[in-house]
Structure formats: structure tokens, C-alpha cells
Amino acid sequence: MNEPISQYMKVGLIHFMAYPTVIKGEGPIEETFKKIALDDYFEAVEVTWIKDPAVRKNVKKMLDTSHMTLAYGAQPRLLTTGNNINDLDPAARRVAVDNLKAGIDEAYELGAAGFAFLSGKYAEATKEESYKALVESTLELCAYAKSKGGMKVALEVFDYDIDKKSIIGPVELAKRYAAEVRAKYDNFGLMVDLSHLPLLHETPKESLVPIKDYIIHAHMGNCVMKDPAMPAYGDMHPRFGFPNGENDVDELVEYLRVLLSIGFLNKQNRPIVSFEVKPVGDEDPDLVVANAKRVLKLAWDRV
């Protein structure tokens, strides 16, 4: 592509993946957020819960000063607590939904443009019941978000049989779900992730084209799935080119080409497309981020 990437997307970085010590809402949040805010390669940043109100206030100030767009990822609120918004136990599901509502409050406090979450585990024998519970929870979240402002709500599509084992899930079910929720709430959409496509056993075309009308946010990253004994196996988001990984420059080129072909990448309403990369072992987070930026530059030249 001869045109600058900034004409088609807002390149972002997921703060709590690049710097995983902050994933539970504590730790060096301000110091690591500032690194991203100082880097003009990024127009967008994705954060998760920040438990200390004073730290949230400082992050919001840095955000406003740096002229960045912020999105809120509530996935850690569920994954680190074991909450499941399609839990068939009504009391447990209520805890999960209330947890996400608190996240929506935080997201609005931070001035977020979008809010993301994921579906939970399920049993094949009760899959339809779990699906219905998910839809009910999602409608409640969309209504709550809409009552407070114009922030978008997105469900991130995860693997269904390897690591997270989320009900959404395979593209056919993702499409059914998105259509059902969007019919009632126009503030809802889907988030897709290059890291998850191999785990979903789907190519970019297979995974993205059927849900093209519902995609509102995208991630870029890698995964390992050849052998459970391998380092970073599963949904661990290692750097591009990680040993035995599935994604590098070629795969990112294909992903971006499909996103461009379906109109997701566009000049009129530039979407956030963020790196979801995480250091493995003793890797330096800043080097992992530098890796991602270089890979995207190489890929964009070929789109």
C-alpha cells in the first residue's frame, strides 16, 4: 500500500498485554501507559480495569494531553475472576454482568470510545441454553451502555475448543449472535483478532467475510498451537515470529487485505486496529512492541 497506514486505521496497542503486570488493575499502570502515550506511532490505546481512582484520573489526564483514542478491554475482569456471562447459574451470571457494568462505568470515566468483553465457557449438551444466556446478558450490557452515552460495545471472538473455549466462537454462531443483538442495539458489534484465527481453525476470509457487517474493532497478534508442550501454546499472544508461531508478516498481510476488501479499513471512519502482543518468559516488553511495529510496517507495504 502506497498510502500511509494512518489514512485507513488508528494503530493501537493493548496496554495490559504489552505490560502484563497491570492486567489485574494494579501495578505500574501510569509508568507503562506513559510509554505508549509518548510514542506517536500509536493513535489508540486499550486499557482494562484500573482499581485506584487516583490512577484512573492520572491516566485520563495523560490520555487527554496526548491526543489519543482509548478503548476499554473488560476481558481481564472476567478471565482473572472466573466470571462467565453465559453461566447457567443465574446468580453467577448476575455477578459477571454486574462486573462488566462496573467496567462500563470505568470506561465512560476514562472517555473510552469502545468497550469489549468475551463470552464464557459452555458445555456442548447445554450449548443453546448458554447461547440464550449470552444474548440476554449482552442485551442488558448494551442497554446499560446506551443509557450512559454513545460508547460502542463489542464482543471479542475467541477460540471455542483449545484455550479460552468461549461459546463465541465459530463464525456461523458469531454471525447469528451479532445479528440477533444488532437487531435491537445499534451500539453493538464484534471484535476480531488475527491471533485467534488459527485457534478457530478459520482463514481470514472464512472468519471475517461472513461477519463483515458487524466488525467494529480488530486486533493483530500471534499464537502457538502445533503442540501443547511448546512455549506460549494456546491464546498467549506471543510476538510475531515466535518459535512455532502461526502468524508473522505474511499472515498479517493476508489479514489486512481481507479487512480492507470488506471495507473495515477505510478513510471515512478509521477503526482502531491494535496489537495484542505479550512478552513470553523474560522477554523485554518494549522489544516485543518494537517487533510488532516493524512487522506492521513490512506488512502494510505489501497490502
Percentage of the chain beyond pLDDT 70 is 100
* Across 269-294, average pLDDT: 98
Q: Domain tally for the chain?
A: 1
CA gap 56, 217 in Å, rounded: 23
Q: Which residues pair with 115 in a beta bridge?
A: 72, 153
SS3 string, the chain, reads: CCCCHHHCCEEEEEHHHHCHHHCCCCCCHHHHHHHHHHCCCCCEEEECCCCCHHHHHHHHHHHHHHCCEEEEECHHHHHCCCCCCCCCCHHHHHHHHHHHHHHHHHHHHHCCCEEEEECCCCCHHHHHHHHHHHHHHHHHHHHHHHHHCCCEEEEECCCCCCCCCCCCCCHHHHHHHHHHHHCCCCCEEEEEEHHHCCCCCCCHHHHHHHHCCCEEEEEECCCECCCCCCCCEECCCCCCCCCCECCCHHHHHHHHHHHHHCCCCCCCCCCEEEECCCCCCCCCHHHHHHHHHHHHHHHHCCC
Is the confidence at residue 44, as pLDDT, over 90?
Answer: yes
Place of cell 494456546: 234
> How confident is the model over 94-122, as pLDDT tens digits?
999 999 999 999 999 999 999 999 999 99
Span 182-204, mean pLDDT?
98
CA distances from 280 to 56, 239, 256, 288, 289 (A): 27, 8, 25, 9, 12
Nearest CA to 141 among 85, 192, 62?
85
* Tens digit of each residue's pLDDT (9 = 90 or more) over 223-245: 999 999 999 999 999 999 999 99
Measured between alpha carbons, how far is 31 from 173 in angstroms, rounded to an integer? Answer: 40
Residue percentage of the chain with pLDDT more than 90: 99
pLDDT, tens digit, 9 for 90 and up, residues 123-176: 999 999 999 999 999 999 999 999 999 999 999 999 999 999 999 999 999 999
pLDDT at 33 over 90: yes
pLDDT at 284: 98
pLDDT at 49: 96
Tell me what pLDDT residue 209 has.
98
Closest CA to 238 of 203, 272, 274, 195: 195
In the structure grid, which three cell numbers stand for residue 208, read together? Answer: 471475517
Q: How far apart are CA 210 and CA 230, in angstroms?
A: 32
CATH of the domain at 207: 3.20.20.150
Nearest-10 Cα torsion for 192, 198, 204, 209: -60
Tell me which residue range forms the domain holding 103. 5-300
Q: Please list, in sequence order, all residues whose beta carbon lies within 8 angstroms of the beta carbon of residue 33, skipping any fewer than 6 positions away.
A: 15, 45, 47, 59, 62
Check whether 1 has a pLDDT greater than 90: no
Q: What is the mean pLDDT of the chain?
A: 97
